[in-house]
């Protein structure tokens, strides 16, 4: 088992523990990516109307229409 020897035996003596650890880390990565995507969409849904309805009119009032 070259993978077991390469890891220094940190997964124990069972090769299935190595596979389970690798699968778990990929699952954690996927769930983190999904939660980040949902959080990003929620922030965008809040910030886009705030920017167009509040910040843009204030910007135009301060700078008198100059971009």
Q: Where are the domains of the chain?
A: 15-63
pTM here is 0.57
pLDDT at position 6: 54
Confidence of residue 47 (pLDDT cuts 50, 70, 90): very high
Q: What confidence score (pLDDT) does residue 25 get? A: 84
Cβ atoms of residues 1 and 14 within 8 Å? no
More reliable by pLDDT, 24 or 45: 45
SS3 state at 8: coil
**Whole-number Å distance between alpha carbons of 1 and 32:** 31
Q: Contacts for 27-36 with beta carbons within 8 Å, 24 or more apart?
A: none
SS3 label, residue 52: helix
59, pLDDT greater than 80: yes
Q: pLDDT of 7-43, one tens digit each?
A: 555 555 566 666 777 788 888 999 999 999 999 999 9
């Amino acid at each position: 088992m070259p993978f077991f020897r390469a890891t220094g035996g940190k997964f124990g003596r069972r090769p299935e523990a190595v596979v389970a650890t690798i699968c778990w880390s990929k699952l954690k990565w996927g769930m983190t990516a999904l939660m980040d995507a949902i959080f990003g969409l929620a922030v965008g849904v809040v910030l886009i109307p705030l920017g167009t309805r509040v910040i843009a009119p204030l910007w135009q009032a301060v700078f008198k229409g100059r971009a």
